[in-house]
Amino acid sequence: MDNAEKPTKVSFWSKLQSIALTVVAVMLSLGQWNDTKDAVSSAYEAFVANWTNDIEYKHISTLHVGQTQAYVTSIFGKPHVSKKSKLDSEIVYFYYGNKKYQLTLAIKDKRLSGYAIVGLNTDFQVSVPYTAQTLLSTPLEQYFSQTDSYFSDANNIEYYAESHDLGKKAMFYNLILGAVNYGNFSASDRSSVKKLNADLDRGVADVTAALSTSRKLTPNYFAVTELAPNVMIEGLLTHFEYKTLLKID
């Protein structure tokens, strides 16, 4: 009788684990563990970012008004574009381009005074701070029943935005929500914004109907700021600026 033991079949995952351990061992022997760790981390983040928005959501969730410029740029890196405010000479807007979203930072005295996000893809539904909502999922009128103040333009860029005072529980910051003509902005969205602006330009006494239509837009933009709302909204790039300076194909 043959008492020889039969060879044990090794699973795919066991082989993969063995290969991974071998690579780590080799890199350790060469004193390159830190480089290997960084490469593996970068590869993992690239993989996750390709299939989900989790990495981007995590980075955005770290932003808070009052942080230092040095801290914020340590997370997001150097801005791709910057522009000085015309309304407040002490404010500089920093812009970061991404295929999924655009980030704007309002920096004053080397401190974060406000930040804004524009979602460029329909599935980029990042959480909107101080609400239970996410971008690109719920009409404006369902966030707040009324608006404290609103802003709109249909010239260099089409947008409708409204500002809400968050009260003392949130340091009286302003939450700005809006629909901006970047990314997915339909002909119907554009028509709503243009109708409101046409009424305002003509001095129509009652713009309730046009305003109500604009409030049915689904926001792709939000900003949190301690600045006056009009100063934060000034940070929106025009079509020309966006396409020539920041747009990533």
Contact 102, 246 (CB under 8 A): yes
Question: Rounded to two decimals, what is the model's pTM?
Answer: 0.80
The pLDDT, as a whole number, for residue 209 is 95
Cα angle vertex 165, ends 161, 166, to 5°?
A: 120
CA dist 235 and 143 (Å) reads 23
Counting Cα atoms < 13 Å in the Cβ hemisphere of 31 gives 0
pLDDT at 47: 44
State residue 169's pLDDT score: 87
pLDDT score for 168: 92
Provide the residue-wise pLDDT of the chain in tens; the chain has 249 residues. 455 454 555 565 565 556 656 655 665 566 665 555 554 455 445 444 456 899 999 999 999 999 999 999 999 999 999 999 999 999 999 999 999 999 999 999 999 999 999 999 999 999 999 999 999 999 999 999 988 899 999 999 999 999 999 999 899 999 999 999 998 889 999 999 999 999 999 999 999 999 999 999 999 999 999 999 999 999 999 989 998 888 776
